[in-house]
């Protein structure tokens, strides 16, 4: 929105217009937001299924760690953007690097030896089998 104002040399506060113009919102180009990992977590009888959206990442840059019932998915994101003018001369080149991590807990401990993972079209699919229940022993109270 544009405002047209005239400067009144006889106004009571000559600096009002100057300070008012400083308070107008500035328009600036912000860098892309940091990458986020979005997940879907479902539970089946003997396992958990995780689908994580991690677009623009290579398979080798994804790290999945499991510690009991804590699951951590992290990824290193690297992207480049280049804009050229009509003559093929580079006018702007931007590089962005970022690190995204997501941790969550599940109700039962996960059997790390049987975990299955696959990555295709920006989606990481994990199958997290639950550890078999150890036999519980009833304690007699005396």
- pLDDT tens, per residue, the chain with 142 residues: 455 555 555 555 656 656 655 665 555 555 555 568 899 999 988 999 999 999 888 899 999 999 989 999 999 887 777 677 677 777 677 777 788 899 999 998 999 999 999 999 999 999 999 987 655 567 777 7
pTM of the model: 0.62
> What's the pLDDT at 24?
58
> Could you give the CA distance from residue 34 to residue 100 in angstroms, rounded to a whole number?
8
> What's the pLDDT at 123?
94
Per domain, the residue ranges of the chain are 35-129
Q: Does domain 35-129 have CATH number 3.30.365.10?
A: no
> What's the pLDDT at 137?
65
- Close Cβ partners of 56 (under 8 Å, ≥ 6 residues apart): 35, 77, 79, 122
> What's the pLDDT at 29?
52
> Which stretch of DSSP H or E encloses residue 16?
helix 16-22
> Could you give the CA distance from residue 37 to residue 123 in angstroms, rounded to a whole number?
10
β-bridge partners, 17 = none
């Amino acid at each position: 929105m544009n405002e047209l104002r005239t400067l009144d040399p006889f106004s009571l506060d000559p600096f009002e217009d100057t300070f008012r113009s400083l308070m107008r919102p500035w328009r600036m180009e912000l860098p892309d937001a940091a990458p986020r990992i979005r997940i879907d977590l479902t539970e089946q009888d003997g396992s958990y299924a995780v689908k994580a959206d991690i677009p623009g990442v290579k398979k080798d840059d994804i790290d999945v760690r499991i510690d009991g019932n804590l699951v951590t998915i992290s990824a290193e994101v690297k992207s480049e953007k280049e804009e050229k003018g009509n003559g093929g001369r580079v006018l702007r080149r931007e590089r962005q690097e970022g690190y995204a991590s997501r941790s969550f807990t599940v109700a039962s401990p996960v059997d790390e030896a049987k975990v299955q993972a696959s990555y295709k079209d920006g989606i990481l699919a994990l199958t997290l089998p639950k550890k078999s229940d150890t036999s519980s022993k009833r304690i007699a109270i005396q």
